[in-house]
């Protein structure tokens, strides 16, 4: 995957393959992983991790939120692994848009929303403050991303 940076240089990323045993790409997230259930993170499988990877990071967000993209989970310094366990803190959790330092599951106010589980392979261990948010994590990751992949899922509350 190639991405143009602000300096218009081209950076080569390896494509990570992200999947979940609990739901398929573009399928509905089971309620157990949402505010209507246990509100715990789902398990994730990560394949094609580049050899030079020193840590992983995850950002989960909802671009369909009425106030703009809503951040549900920010995690960094995850040891290199192919499996993130259900209901498990795999690394250092930053601040999400619920102003909490842990996973906040889907809880859309209306309609069906998309949720992006973005996984980054990094060539370093990050040294950022505990209260870092998505923007802080993205800034710290800049220039250190060796791989990227995402899993998109849907959720609609049963009202």
Q: What is the pLDDT of residue 11?
A: 59
What pLDDT score does 119 carry? 98
Whose tokens are 């990094």? That residue is 122
> Using the 8-state DSSP alphabet, how is residue 49 labeled?
-
The predicted-structure confidence for 35-82, as pLDDT tens digits, reads as follows 999 999 999 999 999 999 999 999 999 999 999 999 999 999 999 999
The predicted pLDDT at position 39 comes to 97
Q: What is the pLDDT of residues 80-121, one digit of tens each?
A: 999 999 999 999 999 999 999 999 999 999 999 999 999 999
Alpha carbon of 144 to those of 25, 48, 75: distances in Å? 27, 17, 15
pLDDT score of 28: 98
CA–CA distance, 102 with 118 (Å, rounded to integer): 16
For residue 73, the model assigns a pLDDT of 98
Detail the DSSP E strand segments found in the chain. 2-4, 10-12, 14-15, 17-19, 44-47, 55-62, 70-78, 83-84, 92-93, 113-122, 145-155
| Range 11-26 average pLDDT | 92
pLDDT at 4 over 90: no
Q: What is the CA radius of gyration of the chain?
A: 15
Q: Any idea where the domains of the chain sit in the sequence?
A: 17-151
Nearest to 33 by CA among 80, 87, 102, 95: 87
What is the CA 76 to chain-centroid distance, rounded? 10
pLDDT digits (tens, 9 = 90+) for 125-157: 999 999 999 999 999 999 999 999 999 999 999
CATH code of domain 17-151: 3.90.280.10
Q: Does residue 9 have a pLDDT over 60?
A: no
158 burial level (CB within 10 Å; 0-12, 13-18, 19+):
exposed
In contact, 72 and 81? CB cutoff 8 Å? no
Cα four-point dihedral sign 18, 120, 47, 125 = negative
Average pLDDT for the chain:
93
């Amino acid at each position: 995957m190639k991405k143009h940076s602000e300096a218009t240089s081209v950076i080569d990323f390896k494509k990570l393959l992200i999947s979940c045993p609990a739901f398929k790409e573009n399928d509905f997230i089971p309620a157990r992983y949402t505010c209507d259930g246990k509100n715990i993170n789902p398990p994730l499988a990560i394949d094609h991790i580049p050899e030079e990877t020193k840590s992983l990071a995850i950002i989960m967000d909802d671009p369909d939120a009425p106030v703009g993209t809503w951040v549900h989970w920010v995690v960094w310094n995850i040891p290199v692994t192919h499996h993130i366990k259900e209901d498990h803190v795999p690394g250092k959790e930053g601040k999400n848009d619920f102003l909490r330092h842990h996973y906040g599951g889907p809880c859309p106010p209306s309609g069906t929303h998309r949720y992006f589980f973005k996984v980054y392979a990094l060539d370093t261990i990050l040294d950022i403050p505990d209260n870092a948010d998505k923007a802080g994590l993205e800034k710290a990751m800049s220039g250190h991303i060796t791989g990227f992949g995402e899993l998109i899922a849907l959720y609609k509350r049963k009202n």
